[in-house]
């Protein structure tokens, strides 16, 4: 079992930056592939970015490519999401997720979830 706690959300103007963190506790963090999802009001929870156990492979939704960067520090049991050039359409609750398998974009394949952190981008 792994517990996930997100932090770093907030209110930012369009064009600004935020860095989200997800701290993990419990089983060995490095055995999990990690991902960030987001959910806007009235919308489905969507894949944003993922990173493999070894940090070698990263994956991004087309909507965030070139603006967001996912990274992890296995020594600190933490995964990050650096978000630059933020747009109002990035406004959502951002969730950290962990899976024993490979990085996939399907939310049902993730076994563990944090409670989320709100990101609001004003125009």
- DSSP-assigned beta bridge partners for residue 109: none
- Three-class DSSP category at 110: coil
Q: How many other CB atoms are found less than 10 A from the CB of residue 13?
A: 10
What percent of the chain is helix, strand and coil (3-state, nearest 5)? 5, 50, 40
Mean pLDDT of the chain: 95
Residue 24 pairs in a beta bridge with 4
CA 48 and chain centroid, separation: 7
State the average pLDDT over residues 22-38. Answer: 92
Average pLDDT over residues 62-81: 96
Percent of the chain residues topping a pLDDT of 90: 88
pLDDT at position 27 over 80: no
Is residue 43's pLDDT more than 90? yes
Distance CA 5, CA 77 (A): 11
What was the pLDDT predicted at 56?
Answer: 84
């Amino acid at each position: 079992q792994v517990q996930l706690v997100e932090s770093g959300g907030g209110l930012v103007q369009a064009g600004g930056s935020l860095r989200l963190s997800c701290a993990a506790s419990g089983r060995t963090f490095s055995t999990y592939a990690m991902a960030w999802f987001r959910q806007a009001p009235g919308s489905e929870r969507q894949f944003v970015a993922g990173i493999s156990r070894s940090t070698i492979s990263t994956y991004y939704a087309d909507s965030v490519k070139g603006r967001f960067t996912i990274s992890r520090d296995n020594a600190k049991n933490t995964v990050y999401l650096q978000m630059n050039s933020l747009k109002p359409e990035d406004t959502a609750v951002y969730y950290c997720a962990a899976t024993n398998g490979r990085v996939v974009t399907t939310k049902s394949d993730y076994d563990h979830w944090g409670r989320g952190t709100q990101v609001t981008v004003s125009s």
